[in-house]
Structure 1
Amino acid sequence: MANFVDLRRQVYPYVSGCPEVIIEQAVSQAAREFFRQTQVWRETLPLDVVEGQTAYALPVHTYGTEAFIEEVVRVFRPMPNRQRDEDLYAVPHTSDLPNLGSRPIAFTSPRPDQLLLAPSPVEAETLQAEAVLVPTTTATSIPDHYYEPYAQALLHGAIYELKGQSGHPWFDPNSVTYHGNLFQQYIAEATIRRHQGNVNATQSVRMTPWI
């Protein structure tokens, strides 16, 4: 896991005099906003299906308490002898779940920590659930393979948060727009790459003036 301490050190020259704890909060907030909007932080969780059971609990937190499940975006049946796995289709409401059949073909997630499958399974099997993760408010790190591609995005996001804090010596309305725009550009790039299936490619690095 990559600790936010490294980002805190990079942020400090832009907000000289800002206490470390406030910088850490800004980095954490930028990380939450970035991963919530882009949905690039994903983990596949095994789901042990039990005969006759349609409701399943998912862990509230993952990576200890560093992240939580924001949304389940995919449930699929691994098909090792075929070119593609078999996806269950998502429905928006419990009332839309199908009743007929002998094994689950659809799912819905009323809450991030709950998954409903339908129709009711007649035998046990192991499915896979793909979840979007977001750092918690107390998170101090993210996985290394997400830090390297997106460190610059989090840097600008944290600076944007801090430069907009009126009443403090580091408040600078002139540079808020600059760093905010860069942060949004990184978010847009990461979202496009997610749609292209290339979430871990390092984002383009821009030379950053001291503003």
Structure 2
Amino acid sequence: MRELTDFLRFILPHATACPDPTAEDALLSAAREFCEATRCWRETDSFKVKGHDVEVVCVPHSAVLFEIEKASFDGRDLDRVSFADARFDRDGPPRQITQTQPNAVRLAPAGPGTLSISMFLKPALDADVLPYFLFDQWGETLASGALARILVIPDQPFSNPQLAGYHAGIFQSAKDRNFNASVRGQQRAPRRSRSRYL
């Protein structure tokens, strides 16, 4: 993980009088927005669960769960359902996954075994670190997202709405260009389209 301060080299030359905490807050907001728009932060993990486990916390420190991509239990795919539609009263192994609170999942029905989950994450509001890949691949892009926020703060020595607009355009273009970046990855796998039936 990289400290938020590591990203300041991309931000502060364009907003020289900006206090570090202001720059870090803007960077964190930009990183959260970028991760939501691109689904670039994917984590996969497996957990041993006991039959009486109520909830399984499934996200690393400094992150929050944005979306579950896929979940399976002992190799069998689980249906993702709302809590109201979960069937906790069934017999047999878990067939569904749901949530009662953010960052944790619950199986329906409960049962012992191995839960495997693929999920998209974004930085937590109080994160002080970001994943290495965000720095290496999109450090300057996230800086533009931060600058778009910083430079529109009124009545500051670094205020520059025109330059803010320029950086907002760079950031928006990067979000559009990398939309669903995790689907294709660097291996450039073709995107599959799935038939939908009404």
Tell me which interval the TM-score lies in, with the shorter structure as reference length: 0.7 to 0.9
The corresponding residue for 2:32 is 32
Q: Does 1:168 align with 2:166?
A: no
Aligned counterparts, 1:12-161, within 5 A: 12-51=12-51, 53=52, 55-58=54-57, 62-63=60-61, 66-77=62-73, 79=75, 86-97=76-87, 99-121=89-111, 124-161=112-149
Work out the CA distance in 2 between the residues paired with 1:199 and 1:108: 31
TM-score by length of 1: 0.76
CA deviation after TM superposition for structure 1 residue 163, in Å: 1.1
8 A Cα contact 1:54 1:119, kept in partner? no
CA shift in 2, pair 1:31/1:119, >3 Å: same
The RMSD of aligned alpha carbons is 2.6
State the secondary structure of the residue aligned to 1:62.
coil
The corresponding residue for 1:82 is none
CA deviations on 1:146-168 (whole Å, 9 max, x unpaired) are 32122122111111111111111
8 A Cα contact 1:97 1:107, kept in partner? no
State the secondary structure of the residue aligned to 2:177.
helix
Structure 1 runs not aligned, ≥5 long: 80-85, 202-211
8 A Cα contact 1:68 1:136, kept in partner? yes
Work out the CA distance in 1 between the residues paired with 2:140 and 2:115: 36
Work out the CA distance in 1 between the residues paired with 2:89 and 2:18: 58
The corresponding residue for 1:204 is none
CA deviation after TM superposition for structure 1 residue 21, in Å: 2.4
8 A Cα contact 2:38 2:181, kept in partner? no
- Moved >6 Å (runs of 4+): none
State the secondary structure of the residue aligned to 2:99.
strand
Identity of aligned residues (%): 24
Structure 2 runs not aligned, ≥5 long: 189-198
Work out the CA distance in 1 between the residues paired with 2:162 and 2:7: 22
Count of residue pairs brought into register by the alignment: 188
Work out the CA distance in 2 between the residues paired with 1:133 and 1:200: 21
CA shift in 2, pair 1:199/1:172, >3 Å: farther
8 A Cα contact 2:39 2:181, kept in partner? no
Work out the CA distance in 1 between the residues paired with 2:145 and 2:74: 38
CA deviation after TM superposition for structure 1 residue 140, in Å: 2.6
